[in-house]
Amino acid sequence: MTIDTTTDPRFAGLPGRPGKIIAVHLSYESRAAQRGRRPAAPSYFFKASSSVAASGGTVERPEGTELLAFEGEIALVIGTAARRVPLARAWEHVGWVTAADDLGLYDLRAADKGSNVRSKGGDGFTPIGPDLIDARTIDPTGLRVRAWVNGELRQEGTSGDLIFPLAQFVADLSQHFTLEPGDVILTGTPAGSSVVEPGDVVAVEVDAPETGATSGRLTTTVVAGPAAPFDPALGTLPAVDDTQREEAWGSREDAGLASRGLHPDLRAKLERIPVAGLSQQLRKRGLDNVTIDGVRALHPERKLVGTAATLRFVPGREDLFASHGGGYNAQKRAFDAVEEGEVIVIEARGEAGSGTLGDILAIRAHARGAAGIVTDGGVRDADAVTAVGIPVYTVGAHPAVLGRKHVPWETGVAVACGGTTVQPGDIIVGDADGVIVLPPHLADEVADAALAQEDEDAWVAAQVAAGNPVRGLFPMNAHWRARYDAERAGE
């Protein structure tokens, strides 16, 4: 393998200008856990060779944007052409390994979805280098990648943490097109990627600790971009929401967003209000389809209040369960990622012919501080789940394992549970009557109105208990309303 020279300084860290740059979407276990989803197979996107930059350069964050994020990565540089190569021979086609920073502008991500054309294709958005490590001299399972921002270590991962081995990317891609000498594969980033701002300096290094081989520090300085770089007449303008902020920063806390948990004052109100009262107030506001039907509480004496974290199962199919049911699947990720005060809401299509959780997962949710679990499917080990003590609502007990009827599919999406739609962050309230879904934007208004109605109903109940007839009192006519108002004013 020989290294060509180039007169373009952007490609100083490479053998030459790459014909293709292929990047992996999600590849590290730590990143998958952070995102709440784990791919069953690699997926990719292309980056333009014009986005390559050398170490010591700058990258612009355009004016009017806020979410430029760094991603330290191991970059593979193809040494010899690869076409339909088997996994066992794939590493032979890698010429060199080096460091890369897969920079991305989350403000532009939504419009291009997974293609990342604009969000990751900007000039300077792919710094690579500074030095090449001969792939023949290192163990591909023993590589390490680290990233620093202003000298502070932010990311550290190893090729042993990858969901897929490095050689698999070469073998997989070669089935679809020829990987040519000089092509670059960016192999994904571990957890820790976050937002950088003008003035920040990002450094990335890839090394092989056992041999001491290193790419050297790849440094990039973030600078403020030009004014008004986007023309609304030509294409999509930058746009961000809290989801993009959370993913760009790595967590809601780092993004400065409020916790998904409920405000203590609102939680206290909802603890006092029966589900029937909330249902009445939501109906007054035109919302009738907000109950999770068909589920019953394992602890009917306990109140359930929390925000929804969602998990979706699809109908059982043997080939899909083989690819999605084993390992660290969506079900396990949901229970590992649930936050304090959240309710795991499971879409199981009302199918009670197998369990959707058992005692181990109930224990995990309880240990994580979850507020409860709601499933419109069955529960295995029902006595043991009940003994854990966490509020659980289910259609009933069933001894069969998950794979009999369900495939764990995804988390963090809108789900259909018990005949109604539940979005992540919706407020879930349950008692012996059942479970209701409370839209967050109506929560305070509905809670205050329900408490006022509870006070009124208690007064009416006292009058009926004292021997007064229901007629004219429930609902109150003008006479009783005036008496109620007068007594309230005298308090």
Same domain, 180 and 283: no
Q: Is-contact 145 73, C-beta < 8 A? A: yes
* Structural tokens at position 452: 């006022």
Q: Which residues make Cβ contacts (< 8 Å) with residue 465, sequence separation at least 6? A: none
208 in a domain, yes or no? yes
- The C-alpha atoms of residue 304 and residue 276 are separated, in whole angstroms, by 14
Same domain, 348 and 400: yes
- The C-alpha atoms of residue 449 and residue 454 are separated, in whole angstroms, by 9
Give the pLDDT confidence score for residue 32 in this predicted structure: 85
Same domain, 240 and 318: no
Neighbours of 49 (CB within 10 A): 19
Same domain, 221 and 313: no
3 in a domain, yes or no? no
Same domain, 229 and 331: no
- The C-alpha atoms of residue 351 and residue 377 are separated, in whole angstroms, by 5
Same domain, 19 and 144: yes
What is the distance of C-alpha 16 from the center of its chain? Answer: 37
State the residue for tokens 């043991």. Answer: 384
Domain count across the chain:
3
1 in a domain, yes or no? no
Give the pLDDT confidence score for residue 5 in this predicted structure: 46
Same domain, 168 and 297: no
State the residue for tokens 């939504």. Answer: 110
Q: Is the entire prediction scored with pTM above 0.75?
A: no
The 3-state DSSP class for residue 406 equals strand
* Structural tokens at position 27: 């590849």
Burial 135-151 (b: 16+ CB within 10 A, else e): beebebeebbbbbbbee
> Of 198, 225, 249, at which residue does a domain stop?
249
Give the pLDDT confidence score for residue 80 in this predicted structure: 97
- The C-alpha atoms of residue 103 and residue 479 are separated, in whole angstroms, by 70
The 3-state DSSP class for residue 459 equals helix
255 in a domain, yes or no? no
Same domain, 308 and 364: yes
Same domain, 36 and 68: yes
Same domain, 434 and 367: yes
Write out the residue range of the structural domain in which residue 428 sits: 264-443
Spatial CA neighbour of 302 closest among 398, 435, 421: 435
* Structural tokens at position 129: 């280098």
Neighbours of 256 (CB within 10 A): 8
Same domain, 432 and 452: no
Q: What is the pLDDT along the chain (491 residues), one digit of tens a residue?
A: 554 545 799 999 999 999 999 999 999 999 988 777 788 899 999 999 999 999 999 999 998 899 999 999 999 999 999 999 999 999 999 999 999 999 999 999 887 877 999 999 999 999 999 999 999 999 999 999 999 999 999 999 999 999 999 999 999 999 999 999 999 999 999 999 999 999 999 999 999 999 999 999 999 999 998 866 788 788 878 888 877 888 889 887 788 876 667 888 999 999 999 999 999 999 999 999 999 999 999 999 999 999 999 999 999 999 999 989 888 899 999 999 898 999 999 999 999 999 999 999 999 999 999 999 999 999 999 999 999 999 999 999 999 998 899 999 999 899 999 999 999 999 999 999 999 999 999 999 999 999 988 888 888 899 999 999 999 888 889 998 888 888 888 76
Same domain, 166 and 202: yes
- The C-alpha atoms of residue 350 and residue 235 are separated, in whole angstroms, by 44
